[in-house]
Amino acid sequence: MPELGRLLEAIAARGGVLRVEGGRLLLLLPEEDPALEAWAWGWGEALALLALEAPKGELPPGLAAVVAEAVRRWGLPGGLLLLEKVRLGLGGGARPEA
């Protein structure tokens, strides 16, 4: 899904932060950008998953750029697999088995 990678790059380039707060996904941008917001809401579930897996439930611009690179490099065979590769790429351990 290269489109998700491009979206994450655009969010990172604009200094955007994705945060899950009170069960809702928030896209915080330094300046209003209706086109980017509309594009992001089309990917709401995937972005919420990424933000929930990020430290503190927040995907800041730097981490969004790392995730975008992971999507570009490895593709997106499955959301959880991508999250594991990003976690390992950032030096974190693999998620414990349930």
Q: What's the whole-model pTM score? A: 0.69
Quote the DSSP letter at residue 1: -
E-only strand ranges, 1-98? 17-21, 24-28, 58-59
Contact 16, 64 (CB under 8 A): yes
pLDDT at 74: 67
For the chain, state the CA radius of gyration.
Answer: 13
User: Going residue by residue through the chain (98 aa), what tens digit of pLDDT does each one get?
Assistant: 467 788 889 999 999 999 888 878 899 999 999 999 998 887 777 788 778 878 888 888 888 888 788 777 766 646 546 655 666 676 655 444 33
- Could you state, in order of their start, the residue ranges of all structural domains in the chain? 2-87
pLDDT at 41: 85
**CA triple 30-15-44, angle to 5 deg:** 90
pLDDT at 83: 57
